[in-house]
Amino acid sequence: MATAAGGLIVFSPVLVVVTIWLHYANKGAGAFFYQDRPGYKGNIFKIVKFKTMTDERNSDGELLPDADRLTKVGKFVRSTSIDELPQLWNVLKGDMSLIGPRPLLPRYIPYYTEVELHRHDVKPGITGWAQCHGRNTASWDEKLAMDVWYVNNISFKTDLNILVTTVLKVIKRESVEVAGVEALDAYRIRKQNIKQ
């Protein structure tokens, strides 16, 4: 928590500037995005991130596609991973750790295997083993297996490896993968249909 507090202080100028920047870029939609995520032992908490898209809708009242709502500012904030910085508040509150399995959506939980549920045996993190060491083409099975591997192999050396890799990726402007292209539930359902 002390690290999170220090991070919030160090990055406070960036947080203030980006908050104001996004407030105007998002056309009144606000600078922050809140969403339910499962944390330690599956307990639900509100994750906070910078909001990188507007809430613009079509004539039927439906949200426009993500690509149409993503602002230039939002694209920059995502590419530099600045959108993850507000999660330091979640770490300070005790909902998250700096390092751990990334918290996915609650609706994915029914699709976890008994082994994969162990990813909730530790607090979720801002960055994790799967995000730093998983290929972009890795399946959800592989990503979740890496989460469980981390839970079973937590150590200072492992966390240091993740932290250094994350910093290098951010400096090089490489994406630290947070989620796959497809939803976990859709992936698992498709696998079940193939087996049948």
pLDDT digits (tens, 9 = 90+) for 80-130: 888 889 999 999 999 999 999 999 999 889 889 999 999 999 999 999 998
Q: Kindly indicate the confidence band of residue 191, based on its pLDDT and cuts at 50, 70 and 90.
A: low
Of 78 and 183, which is predicted with more confidence? 78
pLDDT band at 68 (very low <50, low <70, confident <90, very high): confident
Q: Which pLDDT belongs to residue 167?
A: 85
pLDDT at 48: 95
| Residues 74-105 as b or e (16 or more Cβ within 10 Å = b) | beebbeebbbbbbbbbbbbeebbbbbbbbbbe
* pTM, full prediction: 0.81
